[in-house]
Amino acid sequence: MLQVIDLGVNRGECPVLRDIALTVRPGEVLGVLGPNGAGKSTLLAALSGELPASGGQILLNGTPLQGWEALPRARQLAVLPQSSTLGFAFRVDEVVGMGRLPHASGRVVDAQVIEAALAAADVGHLAGRSYLTLSGGERQRVHLARVMAQLWPGQAGQVLLLDEPTSMLDPLHQHTILQAARQFAERGVAVLVILHDLNLAARYCDTLLLLDRGESCAYGPVVEVLQAETVSRVFGLEVLVQAHPERGHPLIVAR
């Protein structure tokens, strides 16, 4: 479980996040939404330990994040940043295998995990390819497989943080990736995902945090956060919110 209590983050002298509170529970997918510059990526950087907090607390399974040693934390917390760079011609399966570095599970188990993570991210057919020959969307899916391999097979107590994992993907693979995250949550992993697409968030998330200019505007179940008045106020876009005709979750349509 990941708990955030009155979190504040500064970049230099400038406050970027103020008084953010949230809890990502085992088995839950929490989506973070907001316009550009709202503080979404800053929040993820703080939750991953990349940026220090200027106030408040971040607790991973009840222990302050900074109190965890590197290897135990890596076995509990995996992070997919907005962009991942790799300048060497590793094979795809070798890139995914980097997610196994915090473990001492042996080659046989690692090979099984790598194969399963590749399949979950729909990149099994790329296993022997050079990473440098892949498209941007293929690379993004490979890195998702890497962070999934880091936590595989997924269990309660683990946390997966994803920063815009669908940003370079075609519609099919946007759903493939979020279905994989959803399945990880069903195994007990607490998942936090930053998204721009309100309809993807409505379909795959249990809870939403809506940020605007570094502050929490709404936090709670999807149907409570995705109200037309709230969405219009934060994004400056007039919308209609209706129930999905088959699934029942909110469906957001620009007016």
3-state secondary structure 206-227: CEEEEEECCEEEEEEEHHHHCC
Strand, helix or coil for residue 242: strand
User: DSSP letter at 105?
Assistant: -
- HSE-CB at 203 with a 13 A cutoff on CA atoms is 19
Range with the poorest average pLDDT among 8-12, 15-19, 30-34, 205-209? 8-12
* Cross-strand bridge partners of residue 208: 31, 220
* Domains of the chain, start order: 2-84+155-254 (3.40.50.300)
**Residue 181 near residue 169 (C-beta atoms within 8 A):** no
Distance of alpha carbon 146 from the chain centroid:
13
Range with the poorest average pLDDT among 80-94, 128-142, 241-255? 80-94
Give residue for tokens 């909110």: 250
Instruction: For 176-199, write each residue's pLDDT tens digit.
Output: 999 999 999 999 999 999 999 999
pTM to 2 decimal places: 0.95
Instruction: For 127-181, write each residue's pLDDT tens digit.
Output: 999 999 999 999 999 999 999 999 999 999 999 999 999 988 999 999 999 999 9
**Residue 223 near residue 206 (C-beta atoms within 8 A):** no
Mean model confidence pLDDT for the chain: 94
Give residue for tokens 């040693």: 69
Residue 235 has pLDDT above 90, yes or no: yes
User: Which of these, 1, 22, 10, lies nearest to 55 by C-alpha position?
Assistant: 10
Residue 85 has pLDDT above 80, yes or no: no
**Residue 30 near residue 225 (C-beta atoms within 8 A):** no
Locate 252 and state its tokens: 């957001």
